[in-house]
Structure 1
Amino acid sequence: VQTLIHLIVLSVCPTLIWISWKASPVHRNVRYALIVSLLLEIFGSSSRLVLLWAQYFNANLTDYNDLLLLASLARRFYYLYFTLLISGLLGDQKLYPVKWLRYERQAPSTFLVLLGTGSFISAVSASFSFMLTFHLDADSISTSWIEYIAISSMREVKQLQRRSGRVFGVYSLSRIYQLRENIAVMQMILKMGAPVFKYTTPATVFFFFCIALPANYEFARNFSIAMFDWWLALLSLAVAASLPLFDFRFRKIAVQLPLFRRLITPKNVNSTKVFAVKHAVNDVRQASDVHFSILDRD
């Protein structure tokens, strides 16, 4: 079953990459970040398929030590990268000056900021992946860092929501554009965040169940790890497949495909309220367009 799920992920991700590439109204940095994330999803699913192949179809694992080592590193890198992804999106917003018109113009230099934040996340993920794979006693360190980053990221999201409701005259046009793009991304994350947190709970239970069991309960420990991987594979497929549904600009591209056309009704293509978000700012895009509407009338 887990193999089938990963194969579906590998078949769906190219379509999602095409949707992200074609959604040109979305800022280029946002689209590039989504495309890289989907490529890493392909990378992570492929690494898990390698481990499953070695586990079930090859008894002599010593002949494939290097391949299995790379697959184990890739698997842990994949999980850590997506854990830290929200901090990278927030860092991308923080590093831009308040009145940087290049962001609105999507100048090539803005890509350097995305490259810097992405490289930082990749370096942190690779470091923790290496330490966890080689049992370098990094569990407490990595857990503390991830908890700190998660709490800080959620605080920044709340601040971004409050700033979106202020009087737009205090910001430059480029700043309003930047805020609108970041708010759209954060709304997508918040819409996915609650379901992901809820449905990640069983995987967490399986993980701690494996840790708590003594070493002589080998079958139960292996079963718990298998269920942990199976559940996260299913969750990653659900999150990836639902990605185009969380923003109207992606839905406009997605409805061109028969699969998503059945899920998105015509009246919801341009709607910003298909998925309700508790405590989120209502109709953020309409509020951010007020300033531009006034300029058009002038």
Structure 2
Amino acid sequence: SGPFLDSLSVEYGYTSDIMYVVHCGLFTVVGTVSYYLINERDRREMIILRKKGAAIDYSIARTYQLKENLYLMEMFTRILIPFLVILFPEFFFYPAFTLIPKGIGYDWIRYFSVALYDLWLAVMSISTVALVPLCAP
């Protein structure tokens, strides 16, 4: 429901479209940093459990849970970096269109950024589907 509410707030003027782009960029950065921190914490905890050894059922279950978490994190890491590289151009094309005023002699930059944004959407759609095999080991 978050994207739906964001779209409604832009549509009815509660927030500007450039703030929506900033909002998306902020969540991309926060999500990537959180992902990295959780991955590192799980790796450190796994090293600690290996040093201590699994003596009771809880630590054995914890070890298997950490192994599963690390496996999923490695799978997501294979797709995260290419996805972020593909996602990055949006934060140039859209603000170039939005922030350059109409009729000051730079309309060609606005139109070019719209064309590149449309091209980027097509490349992003195809690339997202093409990155799916990277998830499989």
- Determine if contact 2:25/2:91 at 8 Å carries over to the other structure: no
TM-score by length of 2: 0.67
Q: TM-score, normalised by structure 1?
A: 0.35
> After the TM superposition, which segments of 4 or more aligned residues of structure 1 sit over 6 Å from their partners?
none
How many residues of Structure 1 are paired with residues of Structure 2 in the alignment? 123
User: Of residues 74, 92, 98 in structure 2, which corresponds to 1:211?
Assistant: 98
**Matched residue type, 2:45:** R
Aligned to 1:158: 40
- Percent identity between the two aligned chains: 15
In the alignment, which residue of structure 2 is the partner of 1:199? 86
Partner of 2:59: 172
| Counterpart Cα distance in 2 of 1:142 and 1:192 | 19
Instruction: State which of 202, 224, 228 in structure 1 corresponds to 2:116.
Output: 224
Offset of residue 161 of structure 1: 2.1
Structure 1 or 2: more helix by fraction: 2
Matches within 5 A, 1:118-129: 123-129=1-7
Q: Answer yes or no: is 1:130 the counterpart of 2:17.
A: no
Which residue number in structure 2 is paired with residue 149 of structure 1?
31
Per mean C-alpha deviation after superposition, the further-off stretch among 233-242 and 128-137 is 128-137
Gaps of 5+ in 2: none
Change (3 A) 1:199 1:222: closer
Shift of 1:177: 1.6
8 Å CA contact retained: 2:93, 2:117: yes
Partner residue in 2 for 1:56? none
User: For the Cα contact (< 8 Å) 2:83–2:128, is it kept in 1?
Assistant: no
**Superposed, which structure 2 residues align to 1:7-156 within 5 Å?**
123-137=1-15, 138-139=19-20, 140-156=22-38
* Corresponding residue of 2:131: 239
Q: C-alpha displacement at 1:133, in angstroms? A: 4.5
CA distance in 2, matches of 1:135, 1:227: 27
Match of 1:291 in 2: none
Shift of 1:202: 3.5
1:257 aligned partner: none
Q: Secondary structure at the match of 1:189?
A: helix
2:41 is aligned with what amino acid? Q
Shift of 1:227: 2.0
**Would the alpha carbon gap of residues 227 and 209 (structure 1) be closer, same or farther in structure 2, given more than 3 Å must change?**
farther
Does the CA-based 8 Å contact 2:90-2:120 persist in structure 1?
yes
Give, in angstroms, the shift of residue 224 of structure 1.
Answer: 3.1
Q: Post-superposition shift, 1:181?
A: 1.2
Q: CA deviation at 1:183?
A: 0.7
Checking the alignment, whether the CA contact within 8 Å between 1:207 and 1:225 is kept in structure 2 is yes
Q: Structure 1: which 5+ runs fail to align?
A: 1-122, 248-298
